[in-house]
Structure 1
Amino acid sequence: MTEQTQRGLAGIILAGGRSRRMGQDKAALEWDGRPMLNVIADAIGTRCDPVLVAAPASSQAYAELGAESPLRWITDEQVGTGPLGGIVAALTAAKEAGAAAAFVCATDMPLVDADLVDELLRALTSSPDVVIAHEGGRDHPLAGIYRVRALPVFEALVEQGELLMTNALDAVLTHRVGVSDPRWLTNIDAPEDLHRLRAGA
């Protein structure tokens, strides 16, 4: 933990996606000579402790990186429950570790920066359960801070078979904020996205 790490703030990286459009696991994609997952973990690790990686034990990410990664993997999410299921599993672990909230992001956001965490934290007053980035006219639920007190609501939604993050955000008090650098929110869905981002980096 660095001196800048926020007390009570965990980090959650969602790595359970199937990466159909990419054709290979995105967590293991090379970025600056390292797996993208590790780059993201280092970036948010300056603000978050612990950093948790949510992915089913059956996922490609866990198969490729889990055994060798020093990161803490949370593998007990219900398969097929999407990002919300990963958030529930990892937020439960964050709560058990003593965190009051967690910064949540996806494993395909190589430009994510600690400054994004800081900006969202500044918007986290006592009222909201969740603070997410809102940019380009749309929400970015996988760039947000989630309080552990919202867990019962999210758990109930997963039990009901709810998969949509938009519905999960509507079920709690969510605050949306603009961010100073939209590049932080860039995600990679397909090989052409990766090539374009590498060319512009």
Structure 2
Amino acid sequence: MHLAGLVLAGGRSRRMGHNKAAMDWAGQPMLARIVEIADRRCPAGVFIAATTASPAYQDLHGTGGPPATWVTGEEPGTGPLGGLAAGLSAAAAAGADLAFVCATDMPLIETGLIDELLGGITESADAVVASDTQRDHPMAGIYRVRAASVIKGLVDGGERRMTAALDALVTHRVTVSDATWLTNVNAPDDLHRLRTSVGGGGLGGVS
């Protein structure tokens, strides 16, 4: 299975008040941390889905860091579902069969997450997403690139919920062994809790 990585980075970071993708994590932007982890398991390359108007693109495009290909073709205002459709299409064009998909605000992901999701892949599954005791995480999953057309149809029909993709696809769930991999940072309070949980050793300021 030829696996690509796809980081959804088109958000506006309104609740955070800063560009989450550029927030410092152990001396590098959070987006670079995510790309670096994905690159270890994704031989088909890593893609970053974000419009050219997004803070992630404007602050980080062309600044170096781990190799990744920016995908900017999503329609503005379509949210992560639009980024997923555009990114899966780009991964398919690059020859990938599958894409590990995650958000740019999940700094605690490790390669173990990718490995466990890959273990849930079957011939019939269009998507395998991480679950914990509370909910599914559609932005922590592996999707077949063939799902791009279905997701694009949802977007064209006005759908914006990521969970709609799980309903439209043959989706399997994997209860991951370490729920901290799924931690995301949406607001300053989340940032404070995460900094406290790692003892101040990971998250720095905002670059």
TM-score, normalising length: structure 2: 0.91
Following TM superposition, by how much is the alpha carbon of 1:164 offset from its aligned partner in structure 2, in angstroms? 1.0
Tell whether 2:58 aligns with 1:63. Answer: yes
The superposition leaves residues 82-108 of structure 1 with CA deviations (integer Å, 9 ceiling, x where unpaired) of 111001111111001000010000000
The letter of the residue matching 1:50 is: G
* In 1, Cα distance between equivalents of 2:57 and 2:85: 18
The superposition leaves residues 156-201 of structure 1 with CA deviations (integer Å, 9 ceiling, x where unpaired) of 1111111111122111100011000000000001122112212222
Following TM superposition, by how much is the alpha carbon of 1:137 offset from its aligned partner in structure 2, in angstroms? 2.2
The letter of the residue matching 1:180 is: S
* In 1, Cα distance between equivalents of 2:100 and 2:162: 15
CA contact (8 A) 2:86 2:148 kept: no
Unmatched segments (≥5 aa) in structure 2: 199-207
Match of 1:3 in 2: none
Taking the TM superposition and a 5 Å limit, the aligned residue runs for 1:23-34 are 23-34=17-28
The superposition leaves residues 110-155 of structure 1 with CA deviations (integer Å, 9 ceiling, x where unpaired) of 0011110000000001111000011122110000000011122111
Unmatched segments (≥5 aa) in structure 1: 1-6
Following TM superposition, by how much is the alpha carbon of 1:53 offset from its aligned partner in structure 2, in angstroms? 0.5
CA-based RMSD: 1.0
Higher-RCO chain (CA-CA 8 Å, sequence separation at least 6): 2
* In 1, Cα distance between equivalents of 2:193 and 2:161: 29
TM-score, normalising length: structure 1: 0.94
CA contact (8 A) 2:85 2:149 kept: no
Counterpart selection for 1:47 from 41, 45, 54: 41
The secondary structure found in structure 2 opposite 1:27 is: helix
Identity of aligned residues (%): 57
Tell whether 2:77 aligns with 1:80. Answer: yes
- Spell out structure 1 runs of 4+ moving beyond 2 A: none
Taking the TM superposition and a 5 Å limit, the aligned residue runs for 1:19-168 are 19-48=13-42, 49-69=44-64, 70-168=67-165
Match of 1:170 in 2: 167
Task: Count the aligned residue pairs.
Answer: 195
